[in-house]
Structure 1
Amino acid sequence: MVQAAPPFDVQRPVGKAYDECRLADGTIRPGWQPIVDGFNRRGTQGLQNAAAETERLVRESGANFQTVGSGQSSLRPWQLGPIPLVLDSQTWSHLETGLQQRVRLLEAVLADLLGPQHLLKERILPAELLSANPEYPRTYHELPHLGPRLNISATDLARASDGKWWVTGDRTRAPSGLGYALENRVITSRVSPKLIRRSNVTRLAGFFSTLQEHLNSLSPHRNENPRVAILTPGKESYRYVEDAYLARYLGYTLVQGRDLAVRGNRLNLKTLGGLVPIDVLWRHISDRQCDPLELNPSSQQGVTGLLQAIRAKRVAVANSIGTNLSQMPALLPFLTAASQFLFQETPILPSIATYWCGGEQECKYVLENLDSLMLRPAFFVTRHSALVPAEMTAEEKSELVRKIKANPHQYVAQQRPSRSVTPVWHNGQMQSWHVALRSFHVQTESKIAVLPGGLVRVSPDSASLDQNPTTGRLGQDCWVVANEPVDHETSLLSSSRQPVRLVRGGAELPSRVAESLFWFGRSAERTEIIARLLRCILFRIAGETETSEMPELPRMVAALAALGQIEPDHAIEEFGSLLPALESALPESLYRQDNPYNLRAGIVGMVENAAAVHDRISLDAYRMIHKIHEHLVAPRADLQLDIGTAINRLDGLISDLLALSGVASESMTRTHGWRFMQLGRRIERAYQTAELLLATLQNPILDERPLLESLLQATDSLMTYRARYLLQLQPCAAIDLMINDDSNPRSIQFQLNKMCWLLNELPTEDSQFGLGEDQKLVRQLAHQTLMSDPQQLSETDAKGNRPALEALLSDLIEQLPRVSDLIAARYLLHTGGRQELTGRLTAAAASTLPK
C-alpha cells in the first residue's frame, strides 16, 4: 500500500505571492515548523476530522452573520478552517509597533479635526474633507470625551509579494470582527489543544483584560464596578451575534436603543424594576444614529438626549461620537504628511496607494487609469463591495466616469493590493489561499494594546478580500508564536479585593428581553403540542387499521387544522376527498414555508426570539435550540416526505423540545426573565389544549374511546390516566385529567394556577393597589375552571352537544389572548404588532363532522 504524503507536502505556491508558510526555496519558515509537524502527524484523515469538528463547533456556537451579495442579504454560519495563520515574534513586533504608531496618529488627527484644525489651516489636509463631508455635523465639536477618543479601533492589512505590510483601511467608529477573532481562538484551541500549547502561542486574554480595565476606567463616577453596556443595532444587523458573544464573554449588558432613556442628563437602562444607570456605553452603531434629537431624526438605533448626557459628563461613550471621521477613505492619502507634521515621523505601516478625486491631478490620474483601480465612497465606509471598473461593461464604466466628473470629491480610488498566501485545508486537500488580516487595538491613557493576531480571512481569489469581512469568506485563527513559553497567568476574573454587594431577584430586565422570552415560551409550547398531535395522527395512519375504520381520525384532523398545521378543508369531509391524501399531505406539511401558523413557523419563531436574547440564553440551551432548528428548518440533503421519516423526525423534535424544557426548568435562575418565558408557555399550553378539546369533544362521536386515547396521548396524559383508571376510557375522567386536575402539569387548571403565581411574582408600580387587570382576569379564569364539574362538562344535551364544555372552552379561547395583551400592555413596552400563534380554523368547524 502506498502511504499518503503528509498534507503540507502537497501544498503548491501561488505565482509570486509572498508565502506565509514557506521561504522562497520551499523550506518551512521557523515559526511554522511546529504547526506543520503537528498537522502532518495527524495526516489527511486527521485534518478531515479537525475540519469536521471545527464546523460542528461553529454551528453549535450559533456564530452567523448577514452576508451581502447580488443586492440581497442572507444569514449564514461563520466559516472557519482548522489551520491557523502563523506570525513569528519578529514579524509581530514590527506589526505591533507600526499599529501603535498608527493609532496615535489617528487619535491626533481626530483631535485636531474636532479641535484647533491646524492640519486644515496649514493645508496638510484639504478643507473639503470636512466642508464637503455629509458625515460631519458641527455638533461633534462640542462633545467632551472621557479618556481617548479612539478606545477600540482596527486596521486592515495586506502583505505584498516583497513581504512588506500595507494598510488597506482603518476602522475607528465601531470596528466589527473582534468577537469572531475571539470565537476563532476558542474553537481552534478546542480542536487542537495540545498543538496550541506546544507552539508557544500568545494568548488573547491579556488584551481583553486590558479592554475591560480601560472601559471600567472611563466611568465618570469612578465606581469600582461600573455598569458597562454594549449598544447593538439589533438582531437584524450583521453584527448582532458578535455583539451578543462579546457581551456574554466580557460580562456586559447588551442593549438596544429602545432599552435606554436619558433622565436628568443620566443614561439609564429601562427595566421592569425601574431605571438603572449606565456608566459606560460601548456603542456599535454609527455616529449619526446615536441621538435622534440632535443627529439623525429618523434613527431608531440611538437614544434621545444621549449627546446632552455626554456634555454633562454623566456617561462615557466608546468610541466617542465623531470618530467616523478618522476612518474615511479620503483621509488615507494624507496620513503620511499628517504624521510628518504632527510627530515628524514616517509611518512604519504605509497606506496602500489611494487617490482622492477631489484633487485635480489625482482625479485626472484616476480617470486615465480606471482599469487598474477600484473606487470607494470618499467619506464613509460601506458594507458594499468596491467598484471595479475593469469588470464593468462599457456603458457602466461611462456612467461611472460621468458620476466622478459631476462629484469628484465624493470618490477615492485605490490600487488593488497584492496579498500573501497561506495554507488552507479545503475539500480534503491542502491549498494556498490569499490572506487578509484585521488587527484590533485598545488605547488607554498610558498605552496602546494590540490583540496578538487578529481576524483572518482567506480566499482563493485575492480580489474578493477587498470587500468587507461580512462578505463571508473562510476564516482562520491567527497564532503569534513566541520563541519561549508564554505567560498563562492572565485571567478575565477581577482581582479586586473589594467585597461585592450580594443581590438576587433579577429585576434589572429590559422589557424588550422580557418580550422575546415571553414569545419564545409561547412558540416553544405551540411547537410541542402541534408535534405531539401530528405524531399521534401519523402513528394511526401508519398502522394496520384502515383510515375508514378509525372514527377518531376526522376529529384529530379537525384539531390539527384548528391549530393551523394543515388546510382547514382537510377537516370537512366533503372537501377533504378533493385534497391530497393525508398519507402525503401530513408529512409534506412539516416542511411547508407558506404557512405562518404551522410547526415549522413555530420553530422559526423560537429561533428568532432566542436570537433576540442571545446573550441571555445559556450555551447549552442555545445548542438545543439549534438542534431543534435542524429537524425541520435547516436545509437537508436527505429530505423525504414519507410517514416513517416524518414520525422519526417528530420523535427527535419532541425529545429535543423536552430537553430544552428541562434545561429551562433546572438551569435558569428564577428571575423575571424565567417568569416571562414560563408565562408564555403556560398561556400557550392552556390555549392550545382548549382549542384541541373544543375541536374534538364538544359534540361526541358514537364511540369516543379511541378519540379519548388519542387526546390523552397528544396531551402527554395517557400514562397518568392508565395508572388511575386502567383501560376504562370515559369522557368524564379524561376531561377531568385534561382540564380540572391541578396535579397534572398538562391540565388547563394547572396552567392557570401557575399563571396566577407567576403574575404575583412580577414587579408592580408603587402607585398600584390591589390586583392588576391581567391578574384579575387570570384569577377569574382559574376560578371558573376550578368551579366547573367534570361530570357536567362531559354531559350531552338533546342535540348531542356538550354545552357546558363548549361554554368553558370557548371562554378560555376568547380570554387567554386578552391575558397576553394585558401582560404586554403592562410590562412589554416595546411590543410592535401583536404576534399571532393561533390556527386559522375555529373549533366550530368540527361541528360539521358526522357524529
Structure 2
Amino acid sequence: MSVTGNKMTGDPPDPMVYTRPPGLTDEVYDREGRMRGHWQYLLDSLQQLGSDSLRERQLKAERILRDDGATYTLASDSLNSRTWGLDPVPLLLESEEWSQIEAGLIERTELLNLLLQDIYGPRELLRCGILPPELIYSHQGFLRPCQGVQLPGEHQLILHSADMLRAADGSMVVIGDRTQTPSGAGYALENRTVMRRVFPSLFRDSHVHRLSLFFNTLRHTLNRLAPPGNLSNGDLPTVVILTPGAYSETYFEHTYLANYLGYPLVQGGDLTVRNGYVWMKSLDGLTRVDVILRRVDDNFCDPVELRSDSHLGVPGLLEVLRAGRVAVANPLGSGVLENPALLKYLPRISQYFLGHDLQLSSVPSYWCGEPDDLAYVLANLDKLVIKRCSRRSGEYGVFVSDLDARQKQELIARIKQHPHHFAAQDFLSPSLTPSWHDNSLTSRPSLLRSFTVAGQGAYAVMPGGLTRIGVDIDSRLIANQIGSLSKDTWVLASEPEKHLSLQPRPGDEPQPQLRQYTNLPSRMVENLFWMGRYGERADTAIRLLRTVFMQLNAAQRLPEDSERLLLRAVTEMTLTLPGFTSDDPKLYAHPEAELLSVICDSHRTGSVKSSLMAMLNCAEEVKELLSADIQRIINDIRDELNGLEGSVSRGMTSAPEESLDPLITALLALSGLYQDSMFRGLGWRFLQIGRRLEKAQQVATLLRTLLVPVHGDSDDGLALESALLTAEALNTYRRRYRAETNIVSGLGLLLVDRSNPRSLIYQLDKLRTDLAQLPKRSQGPEMPREQRLVLEVYSAVQLAEMRLLAGPDATAASRVALDTLLKLVQQRLNAVAVAISEDFFDHTGGPQQLVNTGWKSEL
C-alpha cells in the first residue's frame, strides 16, 4: 500500500492514506519514518473499505451510541447531554509492548497501594523525610477521619487508572493517576461493543485482547470485600454502585456498569445507616449492604463527618466503615493519591518500598511548596504545565505559553500566595494517531487511560483502555469536557485469544447461585411512577392543543364563545394559569403567543415541554431499567424537544398541529414498549399506576372543562366533538351512532365504555388491578386506603346514569350531576396519589450535622 500522496503528478492526496506531519512522534511510524508492522493490516483494510464505506460505518457507530443512550453530560440540563464521541479508527498496541506497559502499571498500582496504606497507617514516609508533611496534610483529599480504616485483604486500592502518553523517545510516560473514583472503564467497554458491531471481521481477524476478564475480576473482588461478619454460610454479599445521580457527567457509565456487573445502582438517599450497618431502602423493606462501589467523590460521601452540605452521600457511613461492617471501593481518602506533586516523589517512594525504580516513568514534576522547585517553576514557566494539587471539576492544567502577559502575572501571584497548592510538569507533546475527520485520515494527538483492578493476590490490567484524542492536530488539552473524541484501544495478540468460559469445569467446586436483585430502591419506583404521569400529562396536553389548532383553523370560523371555550380548556387542562382564564380581549384576539408558550416554555410548569423534560429527567434516574428500544424513543423525544419551538413557530400561521404529530407518535411508541419491553415487576407496576392515575385524572378534567358548562346545541356539539377528538374516540363514535353528536352517548363512550381504552372506567379498572398487586403495608385485614379510594370512584362511575349526568340544572347553565361526579373523581384520585406517595415512597432525611463545617475547596 502506498503511504503518501502522489507528489510527482500533483494529484490530491488519497483521503484513505495516512501521513504524518514531519518531526512529530507518531503511533503509526517509527522515528525513521517506517510504518510499524502491526498497523499495516488495519490501514490496508481501511483503504480497501474506501472513504464512503468508512463514513457509513462511522454513522452506524453514532446511531448505536445514540440508541444505547451513551452520553456525556455537559450540564445539568438533560437536553444538553451529548452523545458519546467515538472515532472509528482504533489505537493499536502490539502485544510485546503492551506486556511491558502492563507490568509497569501493575508495579505502579502496587506502589500506590502501599503509599495509601502508609498515609492512613504508620506514615513511615513522613517520619523518614521521604514525603514532606505539608504535601499530605494540606491536600483536600487527605481525610483525617479515615485514619486506620482498612478493607479486608491485602489491597486497599481496588481500582486505579493512569493517563499515559508516548514521549519523543517512544516510551510511555504517566502524566496523572486517578484513584478516587476512576472513570472511563465503562466507556471503554461501550467503545469495544460498538466497534465489534461496526467492524466485525476486522476485529476478529486482528486478534484483539478481550476486556471481559477485567470486569470479571472486578466482580469477584467486590464480592470478596464483604466483611466476613456480615454473611451467613452460603450467603452472597450485597454489592451496590453509588452514583451522584443523573446529572453526573458520567452517569451513563454508572448505569452501564450496573447492568453489566448485575449490581443495583443507588443514590445516597437510597441508603441509610441503622443499628451500625448500611441498608438499602426498598419497597420490601431494608436490605443490608455489604460492599459499595462508589462513584461519589470522597468529601461528599458522609455529610456527618465530611462535607455537611452534601446530599450525595450516606450520613454515618464513616462510622460503619470504622466498625468494619461495610466495605467501600475505592476507600474514602484515596483521593490524596491524585495529587500531581506526588509524581515528583514516586522514585524515592519506590526505592523505599520496592528497592528499585519504577518501570513506567512519570512526567518530570515539581511541587511549588518546595523553595527550589518554586524557583525553578517561576524561572521556566513557559515550558511547564501548571496544575492544582487538589483537582477541581471543570479545571484543567494551565499551559503557561498560551497565556498573555496579564494572565501570566495573575498566575504567578496565585502561585506565590499559596505555593503548596500548585504543582508543575514538563510539557510533553502527545504522540499522533490516525483519526477519521472530514472524510479523510488525519493526525490527532492521543492520550491513553488504562485501568487496573485488584485481583486475588495480584493486580490485573485492562488490555488497552480508553484513548482520547484532541479536537485539532495541535491540541494541547485533551478532555471529554471540551469535545475530545474517544477511541477503542486494541492490544493485538500474535494468535487468537482463547475464549474464557465462566462455566464450571468437571471437578470444580459447585459455585453458589448468583443473587437476583429484585428489590428496587423506593426512589426508582417513585421515578417510574412520575415518568408515567408526566408522559400521560404531556400526551393529553398535546392532543388537546392539536384539537384546538384544528378547530381554530377549520374552514368556517368558530363562534366567539366556542373559541373561548376551547382556549380556556387549554389553560385549565395544563394548569398554565392565568392564561386564557383571564378576561383579556387582546389575548383572545391574538392567542398565538400564549399557545406557543404553553407548548414550548420549559420554565412554565404544565407546558408540554416542561412535562416532557420532567419525564426525561425521571427516565434518566431509572435508565438501567429501560430497554434499548425504550431508550431509543426517549432519545427521539429529546431530539424533538430540541427543535420544538422552531417547528411550532414556523407552523403557527398554517397547520401548527402537524409539528406536534412526531411527539404524539413517539409517546404512542413509548406506551407500546412499556407493554412489550419491560418485565412485569414492581417497577413496571408503578409505571402503569402512574399512567392510569394520570389518564383518569385527565379524562375527568377534560370532561369537566368542556362538557359541564351548557352553551347551547351548536356549542355543546363542538365541545363534545373536541372531547372525542382529543380522546381519539371521534371516529368510533361516528361509526356507532351515525347521527349528530349527542351528550348522552358521548358521555357513555368516554366514561363507562370498557371497550374504549381511553375511557375513565377502563383506567379505573386497570388501576384497581395494579394496586392489588402491590405489597401490603399493614398486617390487618382491611383494604389499603388507596384501593378503597379507587373502589369508591369506580363504584360511583359504574353506577352513574348517563341521561342524568347529561341533563342541565334548573338554570340550564351547567350539568351539576356531571360536575359533582367528576369533582369526586378528581379529589379521590388526588388522595390516591398522596396515599401511594406516603405508603411507598421514602421522603425521610437522614442524620445531618447540626453545624455547617464550612468545608471549602482550596483557594
- Would the TM-score normalized by the shorter structure come out above 0.5? yes
1:622 paired to 2:634 = no
Larger mean CA deviation between 758-767 and 440-449 belongs to 758-767
- Cα gap change, 1:569 to 1:68, in 2 (>3 Å): closer
Amino acid at match of 1:686: A
Q: Which residue of 1 aligns with 2:826?
A: 813
Distance in 2 between the 1:647 and 1:497 partners? 63
* Alignment CA distance shift 1:283-1:120 (3 Å): same
Q: Structure 2 matches for 1:30-45, cutoff 5 A? A: 30-45=37-52
List aligned pairs for 1:247-326, cutoff 5 A. 247-326=258-337
Partner of 1:846: none
For 2:321 and 2:15, the matched residues in 1 are separated by 56
Counterpart position of 1:675: 685
Cα separation, partners in 2 of 1:499 and 1:376, compared to 1, 3 Å:
closer
- AA aligned to 1:624 is I
Structure 1 match to 2:700: 690
CA distance in 1, matches of 2:89, 2:149: 45
- 2:808 corresponds in structure 1 to 796
Q: Cα–Cα, structure 1 residues 473 and 815, in superposed 2: closer, same or farther, change >3 Å?
A: same
Secondary structure class of the residue paired with 1:480: strand
Q: Offset at 1:169?
A: 0.4
CA 496–247 in structure 1, closer or farther in 2 if over 3 Å, else same: farther
- Looking at structure 2, the residues matched to 400 and 369 of structure 1 have their Cα atoms a distance apart, in angstroms, of 13
1:3-24 superposed Cα distances (whole Å, 9 cap, x missing partner): 9965331x34234321112345
Q: Using the alignment, how far apart are the partners of 2:217 and 2:691 within structure 1?
A: 42
Q: Is the 8 A contact 2:278 2:326 kept in 1?
A: yes
1:112 corresponding residue in structure 2: 118
Shift of 1:318: 1.1
Match of 2:127 in 1: 121
Counterparts of 1:278-677 in structure 2, within 5 Å, are 278-380=289-391, 382-461=393-472, 466=477, 468-490=479-501, 497-498=510-511, 500=513, 506=518, 508-543=519-554, 545-548=555-558, 553-564=563-574, 569-570=579-580, 575=585, 579-580=589-590, 582=592, 590-633=599-642, 641-642=650-651, 646-677=656-687
* 2:242 is equivalent to residue 231 of structure 1: yes
Residues 416 and 491 from structure 1, CA distance in 2 versus in 1: closer, same or farther, beyond 3 angstroms? farther
Q: Does 1:92 pair with 2:105?
A: no
- How many residue pairs get aligned? The number is 824
> Does the CA contact (< 8 Å) of 2:151 and 2:225 recur in 1?
no
Instruction: Please tell me whether the aligned partners of residues 92 and 480 of structure 1 are also in contact (alpha carbons under 8 angstroms).
Output: yes
Code of the residue aligned with 1:295 in structure 2: it is: L
| Number of the residue aligned with 1:841 | none
| Equivalent residue number for residue 840 of structure 1 | none
Distance 1:292 1:778, change over 3 A: same
Deviation, 1:531, is: 2.0
Structure 1: any 5+ residue segments left out of the alignment?
833-851
Change (3 A) 1:689 1:744: same
Distance in 1 (CA, whole Å) between partners of 2:207 and 2:655 is 50
- 1:357 is displaced (CA, Å) by 0.8
What amino acid is aligned across from residue 126 of structure 1 in structure 2? Answer: P
Q: Say which is worse superposed, 697-706 or 196-205, in terms of deviation.
A: 697-706
> Once the 2 structures are TM-superposed, how far is the Cα of residue 166 of structure 1 from its aligned partner?
0.9
Of 7, 13, 20, the residue aligned with 2:15 is 7
- Where 1:150 maps in the other structure, the secondary structure is coil
Q: 1:186 to 1:542 in 2, by over 3 A?
A: farther
Query: Which deviates more from structure 2 when the two are superposed, residues 427-436 or residues 526-535?
Result: 526-535
Q: Using the alignment, how far apart are the partners of 1:273 and 1:346 within structure 2?
A: 54
- Structure 1 residue 503 displacement after superposition: 7.4
Give, in whole Å, the separation in 2 of the partners of 1:278 and 1:541. Answer: 59
Give, in whole Å, the separation in 2 of the partners of 1:627 and 1:565: 26
Contact kept in structure 2, 1:205 and 1:490, CA below 8 Å:
no
Picking from 819, 823, 826, the partner of 2:839 is 826
Looking at structure 2, the residues matched to 738 and 663 of structure 1 have their Cα atoms a distance apart, in angstroms, of 25
Shift in CA distance, 738/418, structure 1 to aligned 2, threshold 3 Å:
same
Q: Tell me whether 193-202 or 810-819 shows the greater mean CA deviation.
A: 810-819
Equivalent positions of 1:157-236 (< 5 A) are: 157-221=164-228, 223=234, 225-236=236-247
Contact 2:603 2:610 in 1 (8 A): no
Give the superposition deviation at 1:65.
Answer: 2.1
Change (3 A) 1:400 1:275: same
Percentage of pairs with the same residue: 36
| C-alpha distance in 1 between matches for 2:313 and 2:762 | 43
Give 1:99 deviation, angstroms.
0.7
CA deviation digits over 1:533-589, x for unaligned, max 9? 22233334455x12236985543333222223978655778625665365x875786
- State the Cα distance separating 1:393 from its structure 2 match: 4.1
Q: Distance in 2 between matches of 1:204 and 1:244?
A: 18
| More displaced 10-residue stretch of structure 1: 645-654 or 202-211 | 645-654
Give, in angstroms, the shift of residue 256 of structure 1: 0.7
Name the residue aligned to 2:25.
18
| Aligned: 1:57 with 2:64 | yes
Cα distance in 1 between the residues matched to 2:575 and 2:84:
33
Deviation of the 1:635 alpha carbon = 7.8
Which deviates further from its counterpart, 49-58 or 468-477? 468-477
Q: Letter of the 1:81 partner, please give it.
A: D
Q: Over residues 414-471 of structure 1, what are the superposed CA-to-partner deviations in whole Å (9 max), with x where a residue is unaligned?
A: 2222100111111222210100111011112322111111111111447756465444
- Rounded Cα–Cα distance in structure 2 between residues aligned with 1:499 and 1:90: 38
State the AA in 1 paired with 2:423.
Answer: V
Q: Which amino acid aligns with 1:116?
A: P
State the shift of 1:145 in Å. Answer: 0.9
Measure, in 1, the Cα distance between the counterparts of 2:105 and 2:513: 38
Larger mean CA deviation between 252-261 and 785-794 belongs to 785-794
State the distance in 2 between where 1:299 and 1:44 align: 50
| 1:705 alignment counterpart | 717
- State whether residues 600 and 633 of structure 1, in contact with CA within 8 Å, keep that contact through their aligned partners in structure 2: no
Are 2:766 and 1:754 equivalent residues in the alignment? yes
**Higher mean displacement: 85-94 or 433-442:** 85-94
Alpha-carbon RMSD = 3.0
- Relative to structure 1, the CA distance from residue 392 to residue 59 in structure 2 (aligned partners, 3 Å threshold; closer, same or farther) is same
Deviation at 1:529, TM superposition (A): 1.2
Q: Say which is worse superposed, 773-782 or 157-166, in terms of deviation.
A: 773-782
Of the three residues 768, 785, 789, the one matched with 2:797 is 785
Letter in 2 for 1:817: N
The farther-off stretch of 156-165 and 736-745 is 736-745
Q: TM-score when scaled to structure 2? A: 0.90
Using the TM superposition, name which of 381-390 and 203-212 deviates more: 381-390
Q: Secondary structure at the match of 1:435?
A: strand
Name the residue aligned to 1:836.
Answer: none
Listed as ranges, the gaps of 5+ residues in structure 2 are: 1-9, 846-859
Letter of the 1:820 counterpart: A
- Does the CA contact (< 8 Å) of 1:520 and 1:610 recur in 2? yes
Query: Following TM superposition, by how much is the alpha carbon of 1:304 offset from its aligned partner in structure 2, in angstroms?
Result: 2.2
- 159-168 or 721-730, larger mean C-alpha shift: 721-730
In structure 2, distance between residues paired with 1:254 and 1:721: 47
In structure 2, do the counterparts of structure 1 residues 552 and 486 end up closer, same or farther at CA, with 3 Å as the change threshold? farther
CA contact 1:530–1:565 (8 Å) conserved in 2 = no
Give the letter aligned to residue 121 of structure 2.
Answer: G
In structure 2, do the counterparts of structure 1 residues 440 and 579 end up closer, same or farther at CA, with 3 Å as the change threshold?
farther
CA distance in structure 2 between the aligned counterparts of 1:74 and 1:528, rounded to whole angstroms? 23
Q: Classify the secondary structure of the residue corresponding to 1:84.
A: strand
